[in-house]
């Protein structure tokens, strides 16, 4: 199935990334791809990438400080603090964003197990459910945060899918529900 | 397509067509001879070479715009008529054509060149203030114009002459409503007049449409412009830069006289403005002073402090019963002579020492101290003012 | 992605969650709106806020027009009149046009690029909720001693140094709105650049997203300039500095340079998102792809770049050297090239299409027609000698209302009609929508077309009274203004009745629409999810 292949492709990408991190002891315990019936990796799509991001930041700094320094040279130095404040805010926002670009989540269905893993900033979580007892729910986090899909089993539930674009999320929800219902 | 739908679409189309005709007809009207209609809709008839250049430049650019407008929108409206779904037109799917893009980038560029060439000539001509025949310094104040004839050595202030009763609809409006002054700027016809423009308080803009001259008057800086009016007559304009409360009430009126009339007028002015006219040592009686002061007040103070002396607090404090107007003369004179400065910034109360003569200041201060509910009873003499000035 | 199964009558989005036994409580009432971080809620807030400001600013405008119906002073005194023109400008620019554009960005950008929400959801909430405070400050300034700011929206020194306390409130309001704009722009630029769905490359982004990307860039670049300008005004007023005081060694004209260095990019900040909306609507109703997508992107970018080198065309009358006047004249004329490319592309998009003329399309066509007229008067004003004659007259007033009302506002109306079915899940009344368009179109022209004549004939702007030869056109304009204002109540009615009781809208009510948001159900569920079927 075309879609599963694409999801697995993202999976390969992520697992490679994890291998390069020595602290990830659980990697060996992950089922090989071939055995996975369903596997989806959800990551924020960092569509710009750090290089372009900081190049753009540099260009904005150049323009903003260029203007401010120009005005300062003419005696109107009060533009400068506002340029600095604006660029500072932008820097802070993008640093925060960058810390979270590595976040990922993965849901894998293999045999009778459903595995949910997540890394956000430094925190990692990993849950395993019994496939027969697991179901998919919508968690409505409104209005203070975005909603997520949640897997629930035996009184425990774990959210995932924060960073998926809307249309992907719909598809994945449908597919995952089918896979879960298959057994 | 069902018929009702087609009908609505047709109606829509017709309405578009009507709107199009309407706009086009107005566009044509614009370029037509100004004498055809009583309504004003074009630039005023210019009387200076620069004014004429500007007039022609505008007509030229406008016609180019009209032609482009007609070309572009006839394509669009044709398309709206012909390429509609209700007529069963199938949509083509083309969406790119580099050649076309290049063509419609280059052609407008060329058209712009043809606009830029005459415009550049006019800009350079407008900037050429060299070798003037007459030089006049124009100073914008809140809210009147000061004119100083630098070559002749006299000057005066030009105030709105339209009575307040007309403005407040208590009287029928006169012929030159809001465009009338007590004393217009007078210039000779056919001579190059250079105006040095500055301001005493905030930014104003000295504008005579028929001359094609508009120059901001900037406090602390002197800018210049020039005109050469060919035809004797009276030409009217207004301050064109928002300068506060009475911005709409500080007209510019220029009277262009023939050279002989101008010379006669100038020599009269010189005589009149000679300080002897008001002997600074003359001792006036209180009644005389108050009567003259009322006139000075109406021309210079009334706009802010109001006819009833109640002002418009807090921007414009009342004089009726105020500490200044009923307190010591010295303090009162100081305010009038030197203005009020707050936090190092000049306020709306400007210094009058250079604008009004000692006699006028003595008169207006006497008036203020004895008008409305103020009954200080003293008469301030021009000599007192002259010594306070020092 | 094939069709997504959906249910859905309007208003069910929230109820769907009840099908499941576990979901967080969904705060109702005012708290929902105060605490929301959902891009759709915030988009809605922005749009309603801007509509309220539009009506408030419109009331100020109608007071102005009423005073100007006749020569003579009738209903307001000159100082208050100046406050009205000042606040009308500030409220319409910073309260109506800009927030409306941000509202559209909030709703549409994530949907169009397939992002789950805005990049910084909480900052998004803050950037909206700053605005009401700024609005309160502006309106409160009418009631402080000395009245509201009366120096024109451009706040030129030294007139605004003279003014009363209302000016200080205005300066604070501008600071707050500036902070809001900066945060909003950072959010939008980050969302567009970093949160595009896989496969959504830059050159596949809908043009609306492109125009907002460029707008956000401009905003981040120039907002500090405005903040600096008004701060210097404040210190000149109260702390004895002399940035703009000639007596203290400053230069009043420098304020204008700084202000317009912000102000001209600001003009494009207000119009570029509208270009984007029109570029989205036209192909949909022409059933034909946008012509010259790439050239549209380049044209928008070049307009943005040019906007940094044309500011002094607002100041041709301050008396700069001939070289300066010529440079700014040529640079300004150059803007006609990319703007022309845009108009040509739009017309070619319609050419050989299969057009229908629903309300969004009417507004888009109205936009092209009238915006182009505003463009032509802009070209006339670019010619320095002509500009010197027309500077600060009603001609300029007509010009910028043609580009900001018939430009930005018409595009926003079109955008609301276009996306309302998607946002609310209900259809608006098409007949009334068309009525709204025609009334707006006609009364707009009745109001503003005569102003060209007034300006040419020599009526200055910002005057509470005028010479008698200007009476006729002023009367026409005032009548038009009342018609225009009342027509907007019809708009309010149409939107309200659509939201409350319009018939359900299909997922894709417009045959030719092809951006990403139309693949989702209407209305968009609160979090843009499909309803999961019951789990066995």
User: How many interface pairs between B and C have CB atoms less than 8 angstroms apart?
Assistant: 330
Q: Which domains does chain B have, with CATH numbers?
A: 9-86+95-126 (1.10.287), 134-273 (2.60.40.420), 278-389 (1.10.760.10)
Which ipTM score applies to this complex? 0.88
Whether residue C444 lies within 8 A of chain B, CB to CB, comes out as: no
Which candidate from C17, C195, C222 shows the least CB-CB separation from A140?
Answer: C17
Length of chain B counted residue by residue: 390
Mean pLDDT for the stretch of residues C19-27: 41
Whether residue A14 lies within 8 A of chain C, CB to CB, comes out as: no
* Residue B110 CB neighbour total at 10 angstroms: 8
Which candidate from C26, C111, C114 shows the least CB-CB separation from A140?
Answer: C26
Mean pLDDT for the stretch of residues C506-521: 83
Burial tier of A174 (Cβ tally within 10 Å: 0-12, 13-18, 19+) = middle
pLDDT tens digits along C101-132: 999 999 999 888 888 788 898 899 999 999 99
Helix (H), strand (E), coil (C) string for C54-68: HHHHHHHHHHHHHHC
CB-based contact C505:C425 (threshold 8 Å): yes
User: How many interface pairs between A and C have CB atoms less than 8 angstroms apart?
Assistant: 192
CB contact under 8 A, B79 and C353: yes
pLDDT tens digits along A53-88: 999 999 999 999 999 999 999 989 999 999 999 999
Mean pLDDT for the stretch of residues C436-451: 96
DSSP annotation of A131:
G
What pLDDT was estimated at residue C535? 21
Residue A10, pLDDT > 70, answer: no
Residue B363, pLDDT > 60, answer: yes
CB contact under 8 A, C228 and A138: no
Mean pLDDT for the stretch of residues B267-275: 77
CB contact under 8 A, B61 and C383: yes
Q: In degrees rounded to 5, what are phi and psi of residue C68? A: -90, 5
What pLDDT was estimated at residue A163? 65
Stronger pLDDT, C419 or C37, i.e. the higher one: C419
pLDDT bin (cut points 50, 70, 90) of residue A113 is: confident
CB-based contact B203:B39 (threshold 8 Å): no
Which candidate from A74, A166, A173 shows the least CB-CB separation from C114?
Answer: A166
CB contact under 8 A, C532 and A173: yes
C-alpha C233: how far from its chain's center?
A: 26
Mutate which: B40, B117, B126, B142, vs C, most C CBs within 10 A: B40
**CATH, domain range A8-46+103-181:** 2.30.29
Residue C89, pLDDT > 90, answer: yes
Helix (H), strand (E), coil (C) string for chain B: CCHHHHHHHHHHHHHHHHHHHHHHHHHHHHHCCHHHCCCCCCCCCCCCHHHHHHHHHHHHHHHHHHHHHHHHHHHHHHHHHHCEHHHCCCCCCCCCCHHHHHHHHHHHHHHHHHHHHHHHHHHHHHHCCCCCCEEEEEEEECCEEEEEECCCCEEEEECECCCHHHHCCCCCCCCCCCCCECCCEEEECCCCEEEEEEECCCCEEEEEHHHCEEEEECECCCEEEEECCCCCEEEEEECCCCCCCCHHHCEEEEEEECHHHHHHHHHHHHHHHCHHHCCCCCCCCHHHHHHHHHHHHHHHCHHHHCCCCCCECCCECCCCCCHHHHCCHHHHHHHHHHCCEECCEECCCCCCCCCCCHHHHHHHHHHHHHCCCCCCCCCCCHHHHHHHHC
pLDDT bin (cut points 50, 70, 90) of residue C17 is: very low
Helix (H) or strand (E) holding A127: strand A123-130
Report the distance separating Cα B231 and Cα B189, nearest Å: 6
Whether residue A89 lies within 8 A of chain C, CB to CB, comes out as: yes
Length of chain A counted residue by residue: 183
Query: Which tokens sit at A25?
Result: 């002891």
CA angle C171, C43, A61 (to 5 degrees): 55
Which candidate from C190, C197, C261 shows the least CB-CB separation from A45?
Answer: C197
The helix-helix angle for B49-82 and B3-31 (nearest 10°) equals 170
For residue A29, what are the CA distances in angstroms to A24, A25, A115?
10, 8, 11
Mutate which: A79, A134, A149, A183, vs C, most C CBs within 10 A: A79
Question: So which residues of C are the catalytic ones?
Answer: 88, 117, 153, 180-181, 264, 266, 268, 279, 313-314, 339, 342, 461
Whether residue C385 lies within 8 A of chain B, CB to CB, comes out as: yes
CB contact under 8 A, C158 and B39: no
Report the distance separating Cα A51 and Cα B197, nearest Å: 55
pLDDT tens digits along B82-128: 999 999 888 888 888 999 999 999 999 999 999 999 999 999 999 99
What pLDDT was estimated at residue B194? 93
CB contact under 8 A, B169 and C73: yes
Whether residue C144 lies within 8 A of chain B, CB to CB, comes out as: no
Stronger pLDDT, A161 or C286, i.e. the higher one: C286
CB contact under 8 A, C529 and A81: no
Which residues does chain C have within 8 Å of residue A60's beta carbon, measured at their own beta carbons?
Answer: 217, 220-221
Which candidate from C37, C116, C228 shows the least CB-CB separation from A144?
Answer: C37
Pairing of the two strands B144-149 and A38-43: unpaired
pLDDT bin (cut points 50, 70, 90) of residue A26 is: very low
CB contact under 8 A, C527 and A140: yes
CB-based contact C275:C290 (threshold 8 Å): no
DSSP annotation of C405:
I
Interface of B with C in 254-293 (CB under 8 A): none
Which residues does chain C have within 8 Å of residue A78's beta carbon, measured at their own beta carbons?
Answer: 228, 231-232, 235, 243
């Amino acid at each position: 199935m075309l879609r599963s292949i694409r999801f697995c492709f993202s999976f390969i990408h992520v697992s490679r990334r994890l291998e390069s991190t020595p602290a990830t002891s659980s990697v060996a315990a992950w089922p090989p791809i071939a055995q996975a019936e369903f596997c989806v990796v959800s990551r924020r799509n960092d569509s710009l990438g750090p290089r372009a991001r900081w190049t753009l930041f540099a260009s904005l700094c150049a323009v903003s400080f260029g203007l401010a320094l120009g005005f300062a040279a003419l005696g109107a130095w009060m533009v400068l603090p506002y340029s600095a404040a604006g660029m500072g805010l932008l820097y802070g926002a993008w640093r925060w964003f960058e810390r979270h670009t590595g976040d990922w989540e993965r849901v894998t269905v293999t045999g009778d197990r459903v595995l949910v893993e997540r890394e956000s900033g430094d925190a990692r979580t990993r849950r395993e459910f019994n496939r027969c007892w697991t179901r998919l729910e919508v968690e409505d986090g409104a209005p203070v945060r975005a909603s997520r899909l949640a897997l629930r089993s035996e009184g425990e539930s774990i959210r995932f899918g924060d960073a998926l674009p809307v249309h992907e999320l719909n598809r994945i929800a449908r597919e995952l529900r089918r896979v879960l219902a298959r057994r | 397509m069902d018929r009702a739908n087609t009908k609505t679409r047709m109606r829509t189309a017709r309405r578009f067509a009507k709107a199009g005709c309407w706009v086009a007809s107005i566009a044509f009207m614009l370029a037509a001879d100004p004498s055809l209609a009583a309504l004003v809709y074009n630039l005023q008839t210019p009387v200076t070479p620069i004014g004429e250049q500007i007039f022609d430049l505008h007509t030229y650019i406008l016609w180019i715009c009209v032609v482009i407008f007609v070309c572009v929108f006839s394509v669009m409206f044709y398309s709206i008529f012909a390429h509609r779904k209700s007529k069963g037109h199938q949509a083509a799917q083309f969406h790119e054509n580099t050649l076309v893009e290049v063509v419609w980038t280059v052609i407008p560029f060329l058209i712009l060149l043809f606009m830029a060439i005459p415009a550049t000539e006019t800009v350079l001509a407008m900037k050429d203030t060299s070798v003037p025949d007459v030089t006049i310094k124009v100073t914008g104040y809140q809210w009147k114009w000061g004119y100083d004839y630098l070559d002749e050595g006299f000057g005066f202030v030009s105030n709105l002459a339209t009575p307040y009763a007309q403005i407040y609809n208590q009287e029928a409006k006169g012929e030159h409503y809001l465009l009338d002054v007590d004393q217009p700027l007078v210039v000779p016809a056919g001579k190059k007049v250079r105006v040095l423009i500055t301001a005493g308080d905030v930014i104003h803009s000295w504008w005579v449409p028929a001359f094609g001259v508009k120059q901001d008057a900037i406090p602390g800086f002197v800018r210049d412009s020039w005109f050469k009016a060919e035809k004797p007559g009276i030409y009217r304009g207004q301050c064109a830069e928002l300068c506060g409360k009475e911005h709409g009430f500080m007209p510019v009126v220029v009277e262009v006289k023939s050279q002989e009339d101008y010379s006669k007028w100038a020599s009269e002015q010189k005589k009149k403005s000679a300080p002897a006219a008001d002997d600074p040592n003359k001792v006036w009686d209180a009644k005389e002073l108050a009567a003259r002061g009322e006139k000075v007040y109406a021309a210079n103070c009334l706009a802010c402090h109001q006819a009833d002396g109640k002002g418009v607090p807090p921007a414009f404090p009342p004089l009726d019963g105020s500490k200044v107007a009923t307190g010591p003369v010295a303090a009162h004179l100081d305010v009038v002579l030197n203005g009020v400065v707050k936090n190092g910034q000049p306020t709306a109360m400007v210094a009058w020492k250079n604008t009004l003569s000692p006699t006028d200041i003595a008169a207006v201060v006497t008036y203020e101290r004895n008008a409305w509910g103020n009954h200080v009873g003293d008469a301030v003499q021009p000599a007192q003012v002259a010594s306070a000035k020092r | 992605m094939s069709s997504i199964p959906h249910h859905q009558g309007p208003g069910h989005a929230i109820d769907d969650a009840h099908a499941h036994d576990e979901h967080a409580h969904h705060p109702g009432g005012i708290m929902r709106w105060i605490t929301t971080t959902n891009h759709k809620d915030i988009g809605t807030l922005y749009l309603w806020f801007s509509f309220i400001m539009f009506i408030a600013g419109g009331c100020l405008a109608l007071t102005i027009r009423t005073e100007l119906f006749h020569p003579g002073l009738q209903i307001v005194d000159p100082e208050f009149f100046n406050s009205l023109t000042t606040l009308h400008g500030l409220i319409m620019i910073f309260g109506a046009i800009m927030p409306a554009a941000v509202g559209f960005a909030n709703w549409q950008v994530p949907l169009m690029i397939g992002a789950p929400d805005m990049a910084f959801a909480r900052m998004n909430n803050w950037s909206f909720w700053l605005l009401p405070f700024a609005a309160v400050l502006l309106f409160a300034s009418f009631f402080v001693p000395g009245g509201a700011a009366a120096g024109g929206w451009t706040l030129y020194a030294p007139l605004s140094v003279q003014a009363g306390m209302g000016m200080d409130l205005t300066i604070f309001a501008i600071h707050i709105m500036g902070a809001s704009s900066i945060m909003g722009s950072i959010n939008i630029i980050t969302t567009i650049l970093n949160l595009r769905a896989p496969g959504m490359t830059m050159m596949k982004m809908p043009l609306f997203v492109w125009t907002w990307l460029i707008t956000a860039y401009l905003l981040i670049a120039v907002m500090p300039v405005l903040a600096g300008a008004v701060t210097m005004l404040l210190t000149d007023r109260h702390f004895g500095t002399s940035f703009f005081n000639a007596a203290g060694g400053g230069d009043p004209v420098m304020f204008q340079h700084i202000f317009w260095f912000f102000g001209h990019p600001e003009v494009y900040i207000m119009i570029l998102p509208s270009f984007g909306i029109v570029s989205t609507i036209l192909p949909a109703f022409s059933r034909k792809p946008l012509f010259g997508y790439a050239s549209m992107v380049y044209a928008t970018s070049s307009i943005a770049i040019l906007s940094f080198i044309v500011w002094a065309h607002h100041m041709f009358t301050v008396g700069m050297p001939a070289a300066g006047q010529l440079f700014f004249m040529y640079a300004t004329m150059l803007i006609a090239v990319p703007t022309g490319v845009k108009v040509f592309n739009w017309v070619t998009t319609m050419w050989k299409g299969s057009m229908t003329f629903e309300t969004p399309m009417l507004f888009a066509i109205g936009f092209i027609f009238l915006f182009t007229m505003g463009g032509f008067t802009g070209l006339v004003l670019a010619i320095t000698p002509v500009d010197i004659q027309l500077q600060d007259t009603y001609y300029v007033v007509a010009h910028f209302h043609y580009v900001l009302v018939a430009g930005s506002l018409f595009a926003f109306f079109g955008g609301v009609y276009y996306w309302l079915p998607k946002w609310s899940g209900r259809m608006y009344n098409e007949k009334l929508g068309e009525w709204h368009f025609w009334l707006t179109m006609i009364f707009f022209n009745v109001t503003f077309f005569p102003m060209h004549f007034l300006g040419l004939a020599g009526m200055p702007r910002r005057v509470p009274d005028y010479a008698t030869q200007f009476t006729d056109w002023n009367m026409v304009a005032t009548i038009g203004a009342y018609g225009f204002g009342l027509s907007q109540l019809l708009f309010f009615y149409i939107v309200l009745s659509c939201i409350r009781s319009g018939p359900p809208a299909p997922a894709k009510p417009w045959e030719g629409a092809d951006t990403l948001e139309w693949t989702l159900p209407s209305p968009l569920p609160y979090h843009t999810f499909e309803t999961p079927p019951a789990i066995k």
